[in-house]
Each structure stands twice: as C-alpha cells, then as structure tokens.
C-alpha cells in the first residue's frame, strides 16, 4: 500500500464512489458522500479497511484525501459545465490530515482553483478527530465554517464524544 500509493494516484487506481444521502422526509438525494476506492490492476478492488488504516499509520492518508478532493472537484466542475444538477459532496478527513499540513488553507486553495462553490463541499470528520487536542480541532472547524464550508461529524456516538462536545 505504502510503496504503491503514488503510482495508484498517478495512474488512476484511486477512484471516488458516491454514496447518496437521502432525506427521509421526501426520499430525495440531498447530498452524496465521496468514498475512496483503490482498484489495483493486479490485486483487484482493495477494501478501504485494507488501505486506510495503513495510510493513517504511515502518515500518508493526506495524499489519498487530497486525491479524493481533486477527483471530487473535477467531477463537480464537469457536472456543472454539462449543465447537470449537482448536490453537495461530503469528503472525509482524518486526524492525520490536520497534522500533516494546513488543511483549511489547502482545501480553500483547491476548491477556489477549481472554481467550485464552497457550499458544494462538506468537510466530514470522524469523532475520533475531536478526541485529541480538542481546542486545535475546534479552531479548525471554526475556520472551515468561516470559509463557507459545512462541517459534519461522521460516526457520531461511536466512542469519543457527547452531544456537549458536538455542540
């Protein structure tokens, strides 16, 4: 995984699959979640459980996540140019992303360069991100919100947070 990540990104082995988020009140797709998938030409489809933990442990998850952002932006821009309807896309970020680089600035730069409305990108973090250095993460969430992004919490209730922390 680690040795092949750069090649996987360069050769398009990393792909984005979209999982619809449907409103229960009207049954309509209101958003989608971008999910990274690794299609290795010799090993076939790698499950996220096979590559995401490895990339997080090796502090390389930011490369995968930035690749996903770029693929999502390309897709959104192509949809817009084709006149197709678009819905916001939720993109997952790891704690390692916040540690690896200036995540807020990088996302703003990529989204603006692609000329995509920031309202079309939702920043999704797992509650485990909040579990360590709460004040830092709180500041990052506030910065994203100030820049026009919604911030969502994924896996809420799975271990670290309470409604008070979420608030």
Q: Please give the average per-residue pLDDT across 115-132, as a whole number.
A: 84
- Structural contact between residues 76 and 116, judged by C-beta atoms closer than 8 angstroms: yes
Q: Which two tokens stand for residue 148?
A: 């026009």
> What is d(CA 167, CA 149) in angstroms, rounded to the nearest whole number?
17
pLDDT at 74: 98
- Structural contact between residues 40 and 13, judged by C-beta atoms closer than 8 angstroms: yes
pLDDT at 155: 54
Calculate the alpha carbon distances from 10 to 151, 153, 160 in Å.
Answer: 29, 30, 36
Segment among 77-81, 124-128, 160-164 with least mean pLDDT: 160-164
pLDDT at 127: 63
Q: Is the pLDDT of residue 162 over 70?
A: no
Phi first, then psi: what are they for 119, rounded to 5°? -70, -10
pLDDT band at 156 (very low <50, low <70, confident <90, very high): very low
Express each pLDDT in 18-75 by its tens digit: 999 998 899 899 999 999 999 999 999 999 999 999 999 999 999 999 999 999 999 9
Q: Is the pLDDT of residue 163 over 60?
A: no
Q: Is the pLDDT of residue 140 over 70?
A: yes
pLDDT band at 165 (very low <50, low <70, confident <90, very high): low
pLDDT band at 129 (very low <50, low <70, confident <90, very high): low
Sign of the CA dihedral with 121 first, then 127, 129, and 130 last: positive
Express each pLDDT in 86-122 by its tens digit: 999 999 998 889 888 899 999 999 999 999 999 999 9
Identify the residue with better confidence: 133 or 127: 133
Q: Report CA dihedral (49, 53, 54, 55) to the nearest 10 degrees.
A: 110
> What is d(CA 162, CA 167) in angstroms, rounded to the nearest whole number?
9
Q: CA nearest 20: which of 31, 35, 4, 12?
A: 31
Task: Give the whole-number percent of the chain exceeding pLDDT 90.
Answer: 72
């Amino acid at each position: 995984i680690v040795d092949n990540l750069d090649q996987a990104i360069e050769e398009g082995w990393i792909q984005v699959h979209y999982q619809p988020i449907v409103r229960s009140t009207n049954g309509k797709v209101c958003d989608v979640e971008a999910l990274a998938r690794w299609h290795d030409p010799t090993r076939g489809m790698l499950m996220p459980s096979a590559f995401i933990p490895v990339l997080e442990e090796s502090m390389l998850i930011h490369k995968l996540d930035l690749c996903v952002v770029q693929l999502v932006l390309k897709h959104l821009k192509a949809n817009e140019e084709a006149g197709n309807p678009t819905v916001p896309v939720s993109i997952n970020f790891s704690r390692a992303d916040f540690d690896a680089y200036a995540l807020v600035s990088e996302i703003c730069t990529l989204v603006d360069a692609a000329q995509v409305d920031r309202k079309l990108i939702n920043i999704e973090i797992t509650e485990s991100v909040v579990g360590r250095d709460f004040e830092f993460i709180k500041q990052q969430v506030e910065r994203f919100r100030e820049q026009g992004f919604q911030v969502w919490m994924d896996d809420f209730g799975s271990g670290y947070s309470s409604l008070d922390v979420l608030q």
